Structure 1
Amino acid sequence: MMADKVTSAEVAARAGVSQSAVSRVFTPGASVSKKTAEKVRKAAAELGYRPNVLARAMVSGKSRIIGLVVAYLENQFYPSALEKLSNALQQRGYHVLVFMASQTSGSIDNVMDEILDYQVDGIVTASVAMSSDITSRCLAAGVPVVLFNRSQDIEGITSVTSDNFAGGRKVAEFLVAGGHTRPGYIAGWEGASTQRDREAGFRQGLATAGIPLFAREVGDFHTERARQAARAMFGGAPETRPDCVFIANDHMALAVMDVLRFELGLRVPEDVSVVGYDDVPPAAWPAYDLTTVRQRANLMVEETVAALMEHIETPQTAAPRRVEIDGPLIPRGSARRPMNLPLEGRNT
């Protein structure tokens, strides 16, 4: 048989303190002296006591749980960024509960009931689309939502992204300055705001220079579909191939580079320049040396946590906002460099 659970009253008796002192010791952010905390934790360890977080949440109305909804972890940007996000929330005394959903709004709508059942204090969605109906339900329940690396035109919701439009435009300007005249683009999932804005910025940059988009394929932010897109775009005669390609994220760009070099026998960047978006760790590996636009994950996480805490702690005055963080283009060896590239760019 299982032994009866140790109560906070027993811990208080062992430590020689009040039961409320025990509660304060195990409540993040509560005021308690170092001496009292040491006595309580020593007594708790001796008795094998663990506080009932869920019971305390029912009393306080705060679970100190943040629901984190993730579409996919295949892209190496997300494990790193979400680790930073989880650590930042834990430092604020919150626990992170992860839910997996697909990129489409239907999937998160299906899991939202489960998320709300956990009485979460807030929700962060990473590259997941939400319907306006489910957003309204969260707001009505008093649960703030922050979109991470995705934006939507839904009233009352905060989003934090890189400035994807500006990033796409920087790529176009870089490739044009490098003398390219036949630009290609491999798109991500077309329902994503990140994909939409990166392509729009890229197209505007090309249009400003009077250069039309030469070729376009869709990779859906998926490795194998990116490979297929590369084969379709570059598998024909030389005159049918782009002389450069912007790919909507690094995850796909690495797969495209492998197809170009090892299946089609093309040289990068001599035959085709390749540029990605995110600056994931493998982008800097010598095997890829990928020119890319850096997503500033640290700043994105800081803004996400700050916005979420504001909505949780001061909901009466917190206003939804759209945060777009500018990211630099990082020139490396996968793309032909303009002759007038500043020295600081050449040394990256």
Structure 2
Amino acid sequence: MTNERVTSIQVARRAGVSQSAVSRVFTPGASVSKATREKVLQAAEELGYRPNVLARAMITGRSRIIGLVVAYLENQFYPEVVERLSVALQKEGYHVLVFMSSPTVGDVQDVMREILDYQVDGIVLASVSMSSVLAARCRDHGIPVVLFNREQDESGMSSVTTDNYQGGRAIAAHFAAAGHQKIGYIAGLEEATTQRDREAGFRDGLEEAGLTLTARELGNFEYAQTRAAALEMFAGRDYPDAVFVCNDHMAFAAMDVIRFKLGLRVPEDVAVAGFDDVPIAAWPAYDLTSFRQPINRMIAQTVKILLRRIEDRETPPERITLDGELKLRGSTRNIGAT
């Protein structure tokens, strides 16, 4: 048994085709006849051949790798994003390389420098931001960047988000229609555009209904901090009768405290609404009213923008905002499950 690597030349000889035909078979999207493809794949299987992706990248200038930066894998929304984005890109002949980062800009810069060393064809930043200097560097290298579930004032980057402002307004209108008077809000990371827009929509929606926010705490998108925030908000006697929590991950933490630490009832004592509508939100243990992000459409738009800009570097950046939907469940009053 030999440890020598099988080459495309050997595969071509076994299949009785040219080396360029072998290359086309293993190049996503390349034109090749069905008969040739079958012969090459059979020869490759018999010889144990695997194409050298890195070597091809050096020749073509395309790695067919997309760098994905994620900050919150403990938030149930993002494992789903990673899975669905990976599947969607694989269908287009690309592969995803996942990098973990904290949401702070400084940490993201270090990760981004590492990503650029991998010669990626494109980058998706999921709920993280980066400096204008690094954004300019990506542009100079012809590497498109798409912000997923986050916006940024940097004009050179595309973004795909849900209409976070309208989501906040919809939750405020729902609370008002249910007759709530004392309204609380548990915020996410202050500098995040998702947090900013959801709270702005929520406050404006309350104002439209003649209500004001009576309590506000900070959860920073983290479970432990949200537990502490909920304890602070609901430990006294004059607690809110409804609370909007900036995302589902934090809403689960708040509900755990409200029900099991403080002995209050949801929704009889406190109505709770979240944002994202992750699968766990529909579980009977939480039955959480939540504003659903259209994740499939968000993924489709992200892939579409990314591939368009990879193929044509002159394509201008796009900012896509998609409508979501308020899913009413048993954590809020006087509603039926949908």
TM-score, scaled to structure 1? 0.95
Alignment correspondent of 1:312: 310
- The equivalent of 2:207 in structure 1 is 207
Deviation at 1:347, TM superposition (A): 4.5
Q: 1:269 aligns with which of 267, 270, 278?
A: 267
1:71·1:101 contact (CA, 8 Å) conserved in 2? Answer: yes
Q: Which amino acid aligns with 1:233?
A: M
Structure 1 contact 123–146 (Cα < 8 Å) conserved: yes
Q: How many residues align?
A: 338
> Who is 2:289 aligned against?
291
| Separation in structure 1 between the aligned mates of residue 223 and residue 284 of structure 2, nearest angstrom | 20
SS of equivalent residue, structure 2 residue 22: helix
1:321 corresponds, among 308, 315, 318, to 318
Q: Could you tell me which residue of structure 1 aligns to residue 96 of structure 2?
A: 96
2:157 & 2:202 partners in 1: Cα distance?
A: 27
Superposition map of 1:23-38 within 5 A: 23-38=23-38
Contact 2:330-2:337 within 8 A present in 1 as well: no
**Cross-structure match for 1:73:** 73
Three-state SS of the structure 2 residue aligned to 1:214 is strand
Shifted more, 328-337 versus 242-251: the winner is 328-337
TM-superposed CA distance for 1:124, in Å, is 0.4
RMSD of equivalent CA atoms: 1.2
For residues 284 and 8 of structure 2, the distance between their equivalents in structure 1, rounded to whole angstroms, comes to 57
Q: CA deviation at 1:311?
A: 0.6
Code of the residue aligned with 2:249 in structure 1: it is H
SS at match of 2:185: strand
1:210 deviates by 2.1
The alignment status of 1:330 with 2:322, answered yes or no, reads no
Q: Is the partner of 1:287 in helix, strand or coil? A: coil
Task: Indicate whether 1:250 and 2:252 are aligned.
Answer: no
Q: 1:227-238 to 2 correspondence within 5 Å?
A: 227-237=227-237
Matched, 1:50 2:46: no
Structure 2 residue 143 is matched with structure 1 residue 143:
yes
Q: Counterpart of 2:154 in structure 1: which amino acid? A: I
CA deviations over 1:114-151 (Å, ceiling 9, x no partner): 11111111000101111111111101110000000110
Structure-1 separation of matches of 2:161 and 2:222: 20
Offset of residue 113 of structure 1: 1.7
Secondary structure of 2:244's counterpart equals strand
- Corresponding residue number in structure 2 for 1:341: none
Instruction: Note the alpha carbon deviations across 1:130-189, whole angstroms, 9 max, x for none.
Output: 111111110111000000011011011101011000000100011011101110000011
**One-letter identity of the residue aligned with 2:310:** I
CA contact (8 A) 1:182 1:214 kept: yes
Three-state SS of the structure 2 residue aligned to 1:35 is helix
Deviation at 1:91, TM superposition (A): 0.3
Q: What SS class does the counterpart of residue 31 from structure 1 fall into?
A: coil
Partner of 1:259: 257
Is this contact kept in 2: 1:331–1:337, CA < 8 A? no
1:176 pairs with 2:176: yes
Q: Distance in 1 between matches of 2:157 and 2:106?
A: 18
Which residue is 1:342 aligned to? none
**For residues 9 and 288 of structure 1, what CA distance do their matches in structure 2 show?**
59
Q: Distance in 2 between matches of 1:113 and 1:223?
A: 29
Q: Which runs of 5+ in 2 are unaligned?
A: none
